[in-house]
């Protein structure tokens, strides 16, 4: 496994976090598929690390709900379930709504322009049907709004839940209709953020999360 993959040795300066980040990305984009065993030995060879940092990283991923650790059986990639999606998204939607309200109170003009620039890049990715690029910019937009809220507790809570659901959003097929709707929703997000209309931004973000939830549930039930 991974025998045709070029070496990707990690710099030792930030070994633990780099390893966690790379494994997270593999879990989110499906390179490590739900329901499969994590190939610890192959991953150690791929990233040029020993079993100890690999297992420490897997403990972090287990605390985030991305893998489960089984005695004498190693680490396994957790499944994305309908019940989890229905449980997490309403909470994430409420946090995103609060984030929107607080961002409108604290965001600077420069930060609004950054979000506007990101939005334009995201629209370009949509027009080019670059789904990977679209998701990457989408996360940056939500991250920028979260940063503008200026609340570390909110940031920690939101990021933890968002990470769990990123995988579901990435794995679920994005229909043309859902993609177009998401772009329109982001147009409203940018509008209300620019107007610093916290009430309407909160409402829009909450609805945005709920439409994501519905589309993911529909995909999971069709599998």
The pTM of the full predicted model, rounded to 2 decimals, is 0.84
Residue 208 near residue 189, CB atoms below 8 Å? yes
Q: Considering only CA atoms, which of 81, 32, 29 is closest in space to residue 221?
A: 81
CATH superfamily of 82-222: GntR ligand-binding domain-like (1.20.120.530)
- pLDDT per residue over 154-190, tens digit each? 999 999 899 889 888 887 767 889 999 999 999 999 9
- Predicted local confidence at residue 114, as pLDDT: 98
Looking at residue 9, its pLDDT comes to 57
Rounded to whole angstroms, the Cα distance separating 130 from 142 reads 19
Q: Where are the domains of the chain?
A: 12-77, 82-222
In this predicted model, what pLDDT tens digit does every residue of 61-117 receive, in sequence order? 999 889 999 999 999 999 999 999 999 999 999 999 999 999 999 999 999 999 999
CATH number for the domain whose boundaries are 12-77? 1.10.10.10
**DSSP of 38-61:** P-HHHHHHHHT--HHHHHHHHHHH
State residue 168's pLDDT score. 87
Residue-level length of the chain: 223
Dihedral (CA of 92, 159, 63, 174) sign: positive
Give backbone dihedrals phi and psi of 143, rounded to 5 degrees, phi first: -65, -40
């Amino acid at each position: 496994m991974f025998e045709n993959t070029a070496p990707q040795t990690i710099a030792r300066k930030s070994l633990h976090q780099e390893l966690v980040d790379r494994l997270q990305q593999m879990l989110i984009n499906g390179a490590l598929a739900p329901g499969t065993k994590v190939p610890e030995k192959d991953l150690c060879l791929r990233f040029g690390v020993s079993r100890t940092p690999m297992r420490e990283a897997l403990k972090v991923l287990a605390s985030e709900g991305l893998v489960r650790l089984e005695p004498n059986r190693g680490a396994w990639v957790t499944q994305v379930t309908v019940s989890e999606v229905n449980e997490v998204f309403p909470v994430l939607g409420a946090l995103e709504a609060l984030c929107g309200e607080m961002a409108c109170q604290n965001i600077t003009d420069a930060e609004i322009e950054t979000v506007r620039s990101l939005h334009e890049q995201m629209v370009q990715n949509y027009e080019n049907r670059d789904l990977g690029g679209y998701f990457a910019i989408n996360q940056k937009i939500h991250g920028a709004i979260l940063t503008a809220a200026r609340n570390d507790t909110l940031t920690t809570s939101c990021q933890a839940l968002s990470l769990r659901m990123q995988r579901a959003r990435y794995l679920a097929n994005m229909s043309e209709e859902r993609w177009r709707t998401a772009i329109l929703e982001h147009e409203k997000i940018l509008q209300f953020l620019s107007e610093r209309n916290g009430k309407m931004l909160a409402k829009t973000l909450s609805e945005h999360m709920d439409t994501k939830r519905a589309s993911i549930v529909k995909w999971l039930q069709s599998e």
